[in-house]
Structure 1
Amino acid sequence: MDWITVYQADALGFYNHEERAYELFLQPGEYNIPFGAKRTAPPATEPGFVARSSGPEEWTVVQDHRKDVLFYEKTPAAGDAQAVFAQYEMNSVVEIGGVEVRYDGGGEVPAWLTATPPAPAKAPVTA
Structure 2
Amino acid sequence: MQKKVYQTDSDGLYLYESIANELAMTPGRFNVPFGAYEDAPAAPKAGKWPRRVGGAWVMVEDYRTTPLWVVETGAPYSLGAEHDGVAGKVSYPGWGKLPAWLTAVEPPRSVGDATAEV
Same fold (TM over 0.5): yes
Provide runs of 4+ in structure 1 moved above 6 Å: none
User: Rg larger in 1 or in 2?
Assistant: 1
SS in structure 1 opposite 2:18? Answer: strand
Mapping of residues 67-78 of structure 1, within 5 Å:
67-72=65-70
2:32 corresponds in structure 1 to 33
Q: CA RMSD in A?
A: 2.1
Structure 2 length normalisation: TM-score?
0.78
The aligned amino acid for 1:88 is Y
| Identity level (%) | 38
How many positions carry a matched residue from both structures? Answer: 111
CA displacement at 1:43 relative to structure 2: 1.5
Give the alignment of 1:1-127 within 5 angstroms.
2-55=1-54, 57-72=55-70, 84-97=73-86, 99-115=88-104, 116-120=106-110
1:22-63: CA deviation from partner (whole Å, max 9, x where unpaired): 0122232322111211111112221221111111x3110122
3-state SS of 2:75 partner: strand
Shift of the 24–103 alpha-carbon distance from structure 1 to 2, 3 Å rule, reads same
In the other structure, the counterpart of 1:125 is none
CA displacement at 1:118 relative to structure 2: 4.8
